[in-house]
Amino acid sequence: MIKLVDLYKSFGSLEVLKGVNLDIQKGDSMVVFGASGSGKSVMLKLIMGLLKPDEGEIYVDGKNINELKRPELDHLRTRFGMLFQGAALFDSMNVYENVTIGRAEHGGMTKEDRIECAKKNLEMVGLEGTEFKYPSELSGGMKKRVGLARALCMEPEFILYDEPTTGLDPVSADKINDLIINLRDRLKITSIAVTHDLYSAFRIGHRFAMLYQGKIRFDGTRQEMEESEDEVLKDFLSHSTIDADS
């Protein structure tokens, strides 16, 4: 379980998060949405310990991650997988090396097992046969899928998606959505996705939270969201280009 308690984060004079409270239960498929620049990605980085909050606590299975020492934090991070907005693949490594770097670094797997792990996960994301290609030879959608395979190779308990469909054409974006749904239903991994793409949010999420002006404005199911009388939420929904059946 992940619990965010009264999180504050500023960058210079810019206050991004102003008291975020959120609980993510085991098995949840949570989508945090909000306008661009509302602090969604910052929230994910705080959960991973990549940024330190100015105030507030983040608990993962009861452990306050801000109190962990570096080795403990590194160990905790191996329980997470993260898909970055731009995929964040290592340019100097081929796809196989990108996918298995976490495994290679933390040991416990022979080279044969790592090859097997890469093959299995690349097959899962529909990219079999690309092991020896470099990131510069891949399209944006393929990079995101390799990023997903890399996250999965760590066999995570939690997976964080930072704008998984941003910058992709509709077909590639839907492929990513299908993959996330597949992972959610098959592997039952607890997931948190941040996005401003409501079509994608409704496809991949079971629970939704709206981040607005540094706070969680809404937290609930899709039905609760559609029945909400909150003007800000209604305004955000009315400006999105999804139909009610999606």
Q: Nearest distance from residue 36's CB to other proteins, in Å? A: 16
**Stretch in the footprint of other proteins (CB under 8 A) among 13-21, 60-68, 69-77, 231-239:** 69-77
Q: Nearest distance from residue 79's CB to other proteins, in Å? A: 9
Binding to other proteins, residues 106-145 (CB under 8 A): 106
Binding test (CB under 8 A) with other proteins, winner from 16, 48, 201, 210: 48
Binding to other proteins, residues 150-209 (CB under 8 A): 150, 154
Q: Nearest distance from residue 166's CB to other proteins, in Å? A: 13
Q: Which is nearer to other proteins, 135 or 203 (CB)?
A: 135
- For residue 44, which of 68, 20, 25 has the smallest C-alpha distance? 20
Q: Where are the beta strands (DSSP E) in the chain?
A: 2-11, 14-24, 29-33, 55-60, 63-64, 80-83, 158-162, 190-195, 207-212, 215-220
Binding to other proteins, residues 86-105 (CB under 8 A): 86, 88-91, 101-102, 105
- What whole-number distance in Å separates Cα of residue 109 and Cα of residue 145? 23
Residue 182, both tokens: 């597949």
Check if the beta carbon of residue 232 is closer than 8 Å to that of residue 217: yes
Q: φ, ψ for residue 33 (rounded to 5)?
A: -120, 165
Please state the three-class secondary structure of 7-42 as a single string: EEEEECCEEEEEEEEEEECCCCEEEEECCCCCCHHH
Q: Which is nearer to other proteins, 141 or 147 (CB)?
A: 147
Q: Assess 63 for contact with other proteins (CB under 8 A).
A: no
Q: Which is nearer to other proteins, 180 or 233 (CB)?
A: 180
What burial class does residue 245 get, using C-beta atoms within 10 Å of its C-beta: 0-12 exposed, 13-18 middle, 19+ buried? exposed
Residues that bind other proteins in the complex, under the rule CB under 8 A = 45, 48-50, 70, 73-78, 80, 82, 84-86, 88-91, 101-102, 105-106, 150, 154
